[in-house]
Amino acid sequence: MTATNAPILITGAGQRVGLHCAERLLDDGHAVIFSYRSERRGVDTLRKRGAIGLFADFSSEVGILAFIAQLKTHTDSLRAIIHNASAWVAETPGDETRAFHDMFSVHMLAPYLINLHCSALLQRSTPADIVHISDDVVRKGSRQHIAYCATKSGLDSLTLSFAAQFAPLIKVNGIAPAMVMFNEDDDAAYRAKVLAKSALGIEPGPQVIYQSVRYLLDNPYVTGTTLTVNGGRHIK
């Protein structure tokens, strides 16, 4: 069954990169369903543009399954799933288990369950894609953010496994960005330090992630691949 007008699901689209990608998808004529964890200005912006916003608590299996059930009341097909939702939890002494569990649930369990339970929705669309947003930090590990790095690395592994399982009907790929946009309160010293880590030395903005998403959606011959979008950090 072909459903070229099937909506695209993007998780964690209430702000920053996720919001930008959701808006660009709407600009390109796609119907969009997005998840959000808390009410933000961006959530209202997307709703006003016609996107369907669904609250999601990805911190537990119960919350993830509830989201999937809610999603299925809004559509019976999907053009793509973009797993953008992410968690950054401090791994403080005495609280490491909670931090690891929270990030595991968002970065691995949610994509795992959503992919499994929504694969039939994707199979009703031609073409169909899954895109996992990982992180360039998995390339070398992190002394300070071990749980974050490990769970994002696990997401990269899911990319390979689901690509093998879902081929040829669904392409599954990933994107591994380094810093693409600063926070408003990042000071000049911090910005200079971060920019010096890449060969290109720029703050590219969220558009480079959407360009990568667009490439993966449009290219019919790429699956099981994670695109590195890091400004050349690996050659610095």
> Which are the catalytic amino acids?
148
Strand blocks (E) in the chain: 8-10, 32-36, 52-55, 80-83, 129-133, 171-177, 226-229
Among 148, 215, 147, 146, which residue's Cα sits nearest to residue 175? 215
Q: Which residues contact 152 (CB under 8 A, 6 or more apart)?
A: 107, 134, 135, 137, 138
Task: Supply 12's token pair.
Answer: 């964690």
Q: What is the DSSP letter of 108?
A: I
Question: Cα(193)–Cα(183) distance, rounded to whole angstroms?
Answer: 14
Neighbouring CB atoms inside 10 A of 175's CB total: 26
CB atoms within 10 A of CB 177: 22
Contact 161, 202 (CB under 8 A): no
Contacts of 235 (CB under 8 A, 6+ apart): 199
